[in-house]
Amino acid sequence: MQALPKSQRRRRIKKILAGIAGEAKTEAEKITAEAEKQAAEITAAAKAEAETDAEKIRADAEKKAELIINSGKSSAELLKRDTALKCRRELIEKALITVADTVNAYGDKDYFDFLLTLIKKEKLNGKGEVYLSVKDKARDTASFKSELSALDLTLSDTFADINGGFILKYGDIQINGELSALIHEKRDVLTDELNKALFN
C-alpha cells in the first residue's frame, strides 16, 4: 500500500481531530445542559420545600400566638371574676356583721318590736321566761313586759351574757335568740337577700 503524502496526512489528521473536537464539544454541551437542568430542578424543589417549611412555621407561630392571646384573655377573665366574687363575699360578710350592730342600735320601741317578732316565732306552749342582754339593762322595758305577758311570758330580772337579742327558757328548754346566733342560723337566707339587695 502506497503511503499518503505528508500534506495529505496532515489534512487527514486535522480532519480527525476536528471531528473528535466537535464530538467532544457536543458531548460537553449536552452534559452541561443536563447538569443545568438538574441544578434547576434541585433549586426548584429546594425552593418549594423551603416555602412549604416557611408556611408551616408561620402557621405554627400564628397558632401559638393565638393560644397565648386566648390563654391571656382567659386568665384575665378568671382573675376578674375571682376578684369580683371575693369583693362580693367581703361586702356580704361586712353586711352580716353589721346586722347585729344595726339592731342593737335601734331605739327601744323598734328594738323590742323586732325581738317580739322573733319571740312569737320561737315561743312554745306554756309559761316561759325571757332573758335580755346585759347591754339592754338601760332600755325602757315597760311596754315590752306587757307584750310578753300577753304571750304568757315573763321578763327575767337576770341578764344574759349575749350580744343583743334574747334567751327564751321553758324550764330546762332554752331557745337561743342571740342576734349573732340568729344571723348564723339564717346565714344562707340573709346572704341571698343581701346578694339581691347589693348586686341586682
pLDDT tens per residue, range 111-161: 999 999 999 988 899 999 999 999 899 899 999 999 999 999 999 999 999
C-alpha cell at 199: 348586686
pLDDT at 98: 79
- Residue 66, pLDDT score: 81
Angle at 148 between CA 143 and CA 152, to 5 degrees: 145
- Position 62 scores a pLDDT of 82
Which residues, including other chains, have CB under 8 Å from residue 76's CB and lie 6 or more apart? none
What are the sequence ranges of the domains in the chain?
49-200
pTM over 0.75: no
3-state helix, strand, coil in the chain (%, to 5): 75, 10, 15
User: Alpha-carbon distance 56 to 123, whole Å?
Assistant: 79
Please report the pLDDT score of residue 108 as a whole number: 92
In sequence order, the β-bridge partners of residue 56 are none
174 contacts: CB under 8 Å, gap ≥ 6? 167, 168
Going by CATH, does the domain composed of 49-200 fall within 3.30.2320.30? yes
Q: Which residues of the chain have pLDDT under 70?
A: 1-4, 14, 17-18, 20-25, 27-29, 31-36, 38-50, 54
> Strand, helix or coil at 173?
strand
Task: Give the per-residue pLDDT at 110.
Answer: 94
Phi-psi region of 49 (alpha: psi -120 to 50; beta: other; left: phi over 0): alpha
